A and B are shown apart, each in its own frame.
Chain A
Amino acid sequence: MVQDLGYLKESPSQTAGPYVHIGCTPNFAGITGVYEADLGATMVNDRALGERITVRGRVIDGAGVPLKDALVEIWQADAAGFYNSPSELRGTADPNFTGWGRCPTGADDGIFTFETIKPGRAPYKDGRKMAPHITVWIVARGINIGLHTRMYFADEAEANAEDPLLARIEHRQRVATLVAPREGSVYTFDIHLQGEKETVFLDI
């Protein structure tokens, strides 16, 4: 016999279900008067530093159909590469940028949209810089445990080429699933749950 490590087990995940909007975006679900605004609907105010961008995309199932009942959350560094989090000890993040956003996919078109800023580069644990990226988390009916992935920027080819996470992707043709093309100030990031174009999801 040895001593018991005494660790607990993480609570098992369960699907967010079809009614996730009631709990996470009640105003979007038509339940008004309980919360003033849906959490995560606004990430920036007028004084936020950095380049304003729009991130837009869909979550697409194995039959090629966009999910109309998914919820997408993003988390990212500010323009200088700092996170608006107590665990950010390298410096102080821009107080005018939350870094976190939440958006349901549209009930008609399945599109999610975030008005945000382009993030700066944050260090990997060995000191190398990661390419600018946005962390993405997807939940929906039929998804048993939230899916983590990342969006990188197509106009950051040089930084992407030296990114430690992208470098870990064995099948190089799959790197493109994480790189969003740019048109004007809009980046398009379609997330494919299955199939030939399946997005690289992370166990992180």
Chain B
Amino acid sequence: MSDLSNNKPETGAFFQRDRAWHAPALTPGYKTSVLRSPQKALLSLDGTMSEITGPVFGHSLLGELDNDLIHNFAKPGESAIGERIIVHGRVLDERGHPVSGALLEFWQANAGGRYRHKKESYLAALDPNFGGCGRTITGEDGTYRFRTIRPGAYPWPNGVNDWRPAHIHFSIFGHGFAQRLITQMYFEGDPMIWKCPIVTTIPDRSAIEQLIAPLDWANTIPMDARAYKFDIVLRGRRSTLFENRMEGN
């Protein structure tokens, strides 16, 4: 692991997480949460060295096709079936600063809404040329991009007739372990977003809208792939300029 940033590493503690902006732990409409949600109050504490620091991954980790889901599982000369898209954006923190060197991992269903997973039971067909995973690391300016196919919607056992809207899962590492985040990206214009019991675990409509990627016509590549832009915001951190200097520190 190495830091490729030229910026001086920051050591401030992270902003308090706005828990009201996120889904609560217990969301009975999403049934699995009922037995998996802590019921006692969280213990709140300003970040320590254990949360201010975090693993950082170098670009040398990445293989050439890691950010190309159309080809990274496909046989030579073949490609995954589906609508070709580019997903790109920036990873920022709550101060609006770009987060460089952030590892992003993403996973998704294929164009028919089928995941390549042994627990998946949907009758839609597997695509022999689609694995469904990819990763990339943001540049100095916090930008990232990858190529994939637009995932399909799929049904899941929750209510009798619940379907997930098309989505891509994201796992993000910032610079501190307290910034660790997993979330999902949805697609502009999908009416199923507002019917989904997982989406609507998030109480605030504008918070949900933060997860909906607009079609980015300007970055669409003619005769090749449409673009969607998805910016991700991680927790900000305090300046250390005026931090308490306790004795013995």
A-side interface residues, number (CB < 8 Å): 84
By the criterion CB–CB under 8 Å, are B42 and A203 in contact? Answer: yes
Q: Is the interface of A mostly helix, strand, loop or mixed?
A: loop
Closest to A36 in B: B63
A169 CB within 8 Å of chain B: yes
By the criterion CB–CB under 8 Å, are A14 and B198 in contact? Answer: yes
- How many residue-residue contacts, CB under 8 A, span A and B? 293
Closest to B117 in A: A19
Stretch at the interface among B138-146, B177-185, B218-226: B177-185
Min Cβ gap A167→B in Å is: 11
Closest to B26 in A: A144
By the criterion CB–CB under 8 Å, are B49 and A77 in contact? Answer: yes
By the criterion CB–CB under 8 Å, are A35 and B178 in contact? Answer: no
By the criterion CB–CB under 8 Å, are B117 and A142 in contact? Answer: no
17 additional A-B pairs beyond A127-B246, A143-B37, beta carbons within 8 Å, are A8-B94, A11-B233, A13-B181, A19-B117, A22-B131, A31-B73, A33-B73, A83-B49, A128-B248, A141-B36, A142-B30, A142-B36, A144-B37, A150-B50, A193-B37, A201-B38, A202-B44
- Best-buried of B34, B52, B131 by chain A (most CB within 10 Å): B131
B48 CB within 8 Å of chain A: yes
Q: Is the interface of B mostly helix, strand, loop or mixed?
A: loop
In chain B, positions 1-52 with a C-beta closer than 8 Å to chain A are: 1, 3, 5, 9-11, 13, 15-19, 21-25, 27, 30, 32-40, 42-52
A115 CB within 8 Å of chain B: no
Min Cβ gap B144→A in Å is: 14
A84 to B175, CA, bound (A): 11
Please name all residues of chain A whose beta carbon is closer than 8 Å to the beta carbon of B202 when the two chains form the complex. Answer: 12, 14
Please name all residues of chain B whose beta carbon is closer than 8 Å to the beta carbon of A29 when the two chains form the complex. Answer: 116-118
A14-B184, A87-B11, A126-B249 known; A19-B42 Cβ under 8 A: no
A34 to B15, CA, bound (A): 36
A45 to B42, CA, bound (A): 35
Please name all residues of chain A whose beta carbon is closer than 8 Å to the beta carbon of B72 when the two chains form the complex. Answer: 34
A135 CB within 8 Å of chain B: yes
A62 to B38, CA, bound (A): 9
Selected contact of B169 from candidates A23, A34, A147, CB within 8 Å:
A23
Min Cβ gap B233→A in Å is: 5
Please name all residues of chain B whose beta carbon is closer than 8 Å to the beta carbon of A69 when the two chains form the complex. Answer: 119
By the criterion CB–CB under 8 Å, are B96 and A8 in contact? Answer: yes
Please name all residues of chain A whose beta carbon is closer than 8 Å to the beta carbon of B243 when the two chains form the complex. Answer: 125
Please name all residues of chain A whose beta carbon is closer than 8 Å to the beta carbon of B9 when the two chains form the complex. Answer: 85-87, 89
B239 CB within 8 Å of chain A: no
A69-B119, A85-B53, A87-B175 known; A165-B39 Cβ under 8 A: no
Min Cβ gap A174→B in Å is: 8
List of 4 A-B pairs having minimum Cβ-Cβ separation, nearest first = A23-B107, A142-B32, A127-B248, A85-B53
* 28 A-B pairs (CB sep. < 8 Å): A6-B96, A8-B92, A9-B21, A11-B233, A12-B202, A12-B208, A13-B183, A17-B184, A23-B133, A31-B73, A31-B132, A34-B72, A39-B61, A61-B35, A69-B119, A77-B50, A99-B55, A125-B243, A135-B51, A135-B177, A143-B33, A143-B36, A145-B22, A145-B23, A145-B25, A200-B43, A203-B44, A204-B47
By the criterion CB–CB under 8 Å, are A11 and B234 in contact? Answer: yes
A13-B182, A61-B35, A145-B22 known; A126-B246 Cβ under 8 A: yes
In chain A, positions 1-60 with a C-beta closer than 8 Å to chain B are: 6-24, 26, 29-31, 33-36, 39
